[in-house]
Amino acid sequence: MSFKQNMLRGLGKCHVEMLESSNREVFREDILYGALNSISYDTYFEGTKCWYIYDLILGMQDNDYFENKIIEKLEKSKKLSIITFNHLTDLLDQFAYDGSSRAKTVLEEQYQSLLNKKRFSSDDYEKLCNLIKIFNDLYGNKKIDKVLDDVYRYKLTHKSFDVTNLWFIQSMVFNLDEVFISKIKAYFPEFDFEYNKNNIPIRLENVSMDDIRNSNIEDLSLCVRCLDKPYHNELIDYLLEINDKEKSIIIVKNLKISNKLFNEKIDRLLELIKKYDLQHQAYFLDFFARHKSKKLRKFAYELIDNSNFKEHGMDLLIVNHSKEDNEYLYKYFKSATFIFQGWKSHVYISDLIKYFGNGGKDERIKSLLIHYYENNYCSYCRKEIIDIMIKFNLLTDEIINEMKYDCNDEIRKMAKKMLAK
């Protein structure tokens, strides 16, 4: 595997390879690519991976060269995507944190450029949020105080400006001193300050089937989730009887029953889904995949042969597999291809994780774990693959060593803990 592809994966072996090389110049072009382009597979889970690239830049011992290239792209590109803008500014944050006055100046200029705009686009809100986050990291309360004043003045003079799009300001309420919290609440009453920072789900007590029958569509999801188990049998009978697609979908999206009850009702449930169109059938198949039944194993192969539901069929087979299915599943997992930012590889990885989560132990499929570790581009999934490898004692000293430099912080912590023993 090439250095560039390993870099796109965020693997620590890039760092190891650089440390062991007598000629680091051979890595310059690839690292420059990583400095100027987002290498994140999924920014929602992984962030921008900027610190990982910054470590590789430091290894080249030519900081000015890379800093100049990053600034050049940031300043000369007329329209940068949010992902690229955040990647470049996050990298400059690393330079600024290490003392670069030029990086600090450029970040400030980008901030002022946004506040000089007559009108904000949806991308501009995201860019401003990232810059505020960076200033909070670099300067703390002193700079944030000025930022709040700046944004407030801009809001007063630009009627189209919607401060509620600046999610980072609202999130700061839970991390700042009381003085700043009061200021945010005074400046920006538009925010919902009753936001539950712990995201604790609401729980209803003593929900009955009468509540389910009489519930409106908006409240039905919560009622189903909170319905006590003794009522599940009655709820399934209700599901089988009603002729209301919308209610049926809400019920199956939010319900998980015992496998015993599911198996008692499975024949009627399999008949029920035939009444619905392809879109609605998919919700029922997701519901099926949360349960185990021998009848689902046979049904799974029928779905796999149906191009509309092949992935649902694989879901059901993996959850309900037996030893006889391991040959088929081995060939399936072995056929996986890994492409940077390709969604299909995520399906294979999720299925492999699900296989082992449902008691899978086949030695041939175990042997594929290292292949998945080395080739997949999502560091979030890689962490889960490593967890399974630990369970089966498959981690080598070489892998543990390179985990120290992985782009995923959790993986680095795992390596540090292992090496400390």
Greater model confidence, 13 or 178 = 13
Read off the pLDDT band of 258 (50, 70, 90): very high
pLDDT on residue 197: 47
CB 312 within 8 A of CB 285: yes
| pLDDT higher than threshold 50 for residue 337 | yes
- What average pLDDT does the structure give for the chain? 91
What's the CA gap between 330 and 364, in Å, rounded? 7
What's the CA gap between 89 and 93, in Å, rounded? 6
| pLDDT higher than threshold 80 for residue 176 | no
Greater model confidence, 185 or 305 = 305
144-156 pLDDT, tens digit per residue, is 889 999 999 999 9
Weakest mean pLDDT among 16-20, 184-188, 333-337: 184-188
The sign of the CA dihedral 136, 140, 144, 146 is: negative
pLDDT on residue 44: 81
Mean pLDDT within 33-37: 97
Greater model confidence, 179 or 142 = 142
pLDDT on residue 194: 58
Share of the chain above pLDDT 70, in %: 95
pLDDT on residue 46: 87
Share of the chain above pLDDT 90, in %: 75
Read off the pLDDT band of 254 (50, 70, 90): very high
| pLDDT higher than threshold 80 for residue 69 | yes
| pLDDT higher than threshold 60 for residue 202 | no
* All structural domains of the chain with their residue ranges: 3-187, 201-255
| pLDDT higher than threshold 50 for residue 115 | yes
| pLDDT higher than threshold 50 for residue 180 | yes
Q: What is the 3-state secondary structure (H, E, C) of the chain?
A: CCHHHHHHHCCCHHHHHHHHCCCHHHHHHHHHHHHHCCCCCCHHHHCCCHHHHHHHHHHHCCHHHHHHHHHHHHHHCCCCCHHHHHHHHHHHHHHHHCCCHHHHHHHHHHHHHHHCCCCCCHHHHHHHHHHHHHHHHHHCHHHHHHHHHHHHHHHHHCCCCCHHHCHHHHHHCCCCCHHHHHHHHHHCCCCCCCCCCCCCCCCCCCCCHHHHHHCCHHHHHHHHHHCCHHHHHHHHHHHHHCCCHHHHHHHHHHCCCCHHHHHHHHHHHHHHHHHCCHHHHHHHHHHHCCCCCHHHHHHHHHHHCCCCCHHHHHHHHHHCCCHHHHHHHHHHHHCCCCCCCCHHHHHHHHHHHHHHHCCCCCHHHHCCHHHHHHHCCCHHHHHHHHHHHHHCCCCCHHHHHHHCCCCCHHHHHHHHHHHCC
Say what the pTM is: 0.85
Read off the pLDDT band of 326 (50, 70, 90): very high
238-251 pLDDT, tens digit per residue, is 999 998 889 999 99
